[in-house]
Amino acid sequence: MQISINGNDKNFDAETMSINALIAHMNLVGKRIAIERNGEIVPRSQFDQVMVCQGDQLEIVGAVGGG
Amino acid sequence: MNEKNEMNDALVIAGKSYHSRLLVGTGKYKDFTETRAAIDASGAQIVTVAIRRTNIGQNENEPSLLDYLPPDEFTYLPNTAGCYSADDAVRTLRLARELLDGHKLVKLEVLGDPKTLYPNVIETLAAAKTLVSEGFDVMVYTSDDPIIAKQLEDIGCCAVMPLASLIGSGMGILNPWNLQIIIENAKIPVLVDAGVGCAADAAIAMELGCEGVLMNTAIAAAQNPVLMASAMKKAIEAGRESYLAGRMPKKLYSASPSSPTTGLITGNG
């Protein structure tokens, strides 16, 4: 599948995977992040259930320094 | 001011008390070590953070701001810096709430153009309405227009934060008279946000009756940020005490010197 993460297209061998699996794949385990899938926030409690698939648009954000 | 009064003189925002009236940003520092040192010197309890796309597939051991400013030590104030529409601002803060485990206190700012960073008050009003209806505690950055400030209060924002001058300009308080009107009309805390350049500016804001000051560049862009953070802490405290103490009336001259007018050795009696 091809999905868009933070505006970049990414290809995966799997046809679908859970958000948790994706986080592991992206080396983001343990990082404080929030995720939006196709414009909708995915609550952390649902990272195991929500699946990403072909064409999905994801935003993965964190807190950074700012004024 | 005695110790008891000092303890009672808390800044209350959305029902929570803070002893520090200086709120600081966390951007523009050389590194996280300097960020932490400056924030410690400032005594700030509330720190603003920005919400941005996470680096994907890059250095996974890259330090994060949260490692240096643990959320259990500070009250995070996620902001919407860089948003130019109500929709983007609302979307950003929904993500922030998820990121920070349901945290409700946020700083709303919707900018009008990237050159001046002047606030877009139309979009700010729209975003504030949505955010308040969704249960956010909204501290809102705005222009120094007293009518807009009042409208933001009426919408249900928990603090209104007019600019002293434009973001990052360091120009100080350009319209103290408008700030006075905003403070006089407000039933919620008024904090100056943006434009403060030096400790004197911060003290003047507090002497005008502001409940607090939010700043980033004035500290981060100083030659010695940690020392400036310390100066700002003192200025905020001095300005607050000066405001509470009540200044003497201004007169062109008084003919009433501080030393006795009798008993002078050159006198005749």
pLDDT at A48: 93
pLDDT at B96: 96
Residue B24 CA to residue A19 CA, distance in Å, equals 34
Residue A40 CA to residue A37 CA, distance in Å, equals 5
Mean predicted confidence (pLDDT) in B47-68: 83
CB contact under 8 A, A62 and B79: no
Q: Is residue A23 part of a domain?
A: yes
Q: Is residue A28 part of a domain?
A: yes
B133 to B15, B153, B167, B203, B259: CA distances (angstroms): 18, 14, 28, 35, 61
Mean predicted confidence (pLDDT) in B118-132: 97
In sequence order, what DSSP letters do the residues of chain B get, joined into one string? Answer: --HHHHHH--EEETTEEES--EEE---S-SSHHHHHHHHHHHT-SEEEEEEEEPP-SS-TT---HHHHS-TTTSEEEEB-TT--SHHHHHHHHHHHHHHTTT--EEEE--BS-TTT--B-HHHHHHHHHHHHHTT-EEEEEE-S-HHHHHHHHHHT-SEEEE-SSSTT-----S-HHHHHHHHHH-SS-BEEES---SHHHHHHHHHTT-SEEEESHHHHTSSSHHHHHHHHHHHHHHHHHHHHH-PPPP-S--S--SS-SS--TT---
Q: Pull the structure tokens for residue B180.
A: 């006075």
pLDDT at B261: 86
Question: Predicted confidence band at B29 (pLDDT cuts at 50, 70, 90)?
Answer: very high
How far, rounded to the nearest angstrom, does the alpha carbon of residue B247 sit from its chain's CA centroid? 23
Q: How many CA atoms lie within 13 A of B71 on its CB side?
A: 16
Task: Count up the domains in chain A and report the number.
Answer: 1
B101: nearest CA partner in chain A:
A44
Report the mean per-residue pLDDT for chain B.
93
Q: Measured between CB atoms, which of B56, B94, B98 is closest to A5? A: B56
Judge whether residue B162 has pLDDT over 90.
Answer: yes
Q: Which of B74, B90, B98 to mutate to test the interface with A (most CBs of A within 10 A)?
A: B98
Longest dimension (CA), chain B: 91
Q: Measured between CB atoms, which of B35, B100, B215 is closest to A65? A: B35
Judge whether residue A20 has pLDDT over 80.
Answer: yes
Judge whether residue B1 has pLDDT over 80.
Answer: no
Lowest mean pLDDT among A62-66, B56-60, B63-67: B56-60
B36 touches chain A (CB under 8 A): no
CB contact under 8 A, A27 and B60: yes
Residues of chain A with Cβ-Cβ distance to B26 below 8 Å are: 65-67
Answer whether B127's CB lies under 8 Å from B108's CB. Answer: yes
B29 touches chain A (CB under 8 A): yes
Termini Cα distance of chain A: 38
Which CB contacts under 8 angstroms, 24+ apart, belong to B88-94?
B89/B123, B89/B124, B89/B127, B89/B131, B90/B127, B90/B130, B90/B131, B90/B134, B91/A36, B92/B51, B93/B51, B93/B131, B93/B136, B94/A41, B94/B134
Q: Is residue A67 part of a domain?
A: no
pLDDT at B2: 46
Tens of pLDDT, residues A42-57: 999 999 999 999 999 9
Mean predicted confidence (pLDDT) in B78-100: 96
Question: Predicted confidence band at B60 (pLDDT cuts at 50, 70, 90)?
Answer: low
Taking a contact as any Cβ pair under 8 Å apart, which residues of chain B between 123 and 152 contact chain A? Answer: none
Judge whether residue B7 has pLDDT over 90.
Answer: no
Q: Measured between CB atoms, which of B57, B79, B98 is closest to A66? A: B79
Q: Which of B48, B51, B53, B75 to mutate to test the interface with A (most CBs of A within 10 A)?
A: B53
Tens of pLDDT, residues B175-201: 999 999 999 999 999 999 999 999 999
Q: Pull the structure tokens for residue B197.
A: 């350049």
CB contact under 8 A, B54 and A43: no
Q: Is residue A45 part of a domain?
A: yes
Answer whether B164's CB lies under 8 Å from B196's CB. Answer: yes
CB contact under 8 A, A63 and B51: yes
pTM: 0.91
Q: How many CA atoms lie within 13 A of A57 on its CB side?
A: 4
R_g over Cα of chain A: 12
Residue B106: other Cβ atoms inside 10 A: 26
Q: Which of A22, A32, A40 to mutate to test the interface with B (most CBs of B within 10 A)?
A: A32
Provide, rounded to the nearest whole percent, the portion of chain B with pLDDT above 90. Answer: 83
A67: nearest CA partner in chain B:
B25
pLDDT at B255: 82
Tens of pLDDT, residues B197-249: 999 999 999 999 999 999 999 999 999 999 999 999 999 999 999 999 999 99
B262 touches chain A (CB under 8 A): no
Lowest mean pLDDT among B48-62, B104-118, B134-148: B48-62
Bigger pLDDT: B56 vs B106: B106
CATH number of the domain where residue A50 is located: 3.10.20.30
B58 touches chain A (CB under 8 A): no
Q: Measured between CB atoms, which of A60, A62, A66 is closest to B64? A: A62
Provide the domain limits for residue A29. 2-62
**SS3 assignment, position A46:** helix
R_g over Cα of chain B: 21
pLDDT at B213: 98
pLDDT at B5: 52
Question: Predicted confidence band at B256 (pLDDT cuts at 50, 70, 90)?
Answer: confident
Under DSSP, the state recorded for A50 is: P
What ipTM was estimated for this complex?
0.92
Q: Is residue A55 part of a domain?
A: yes
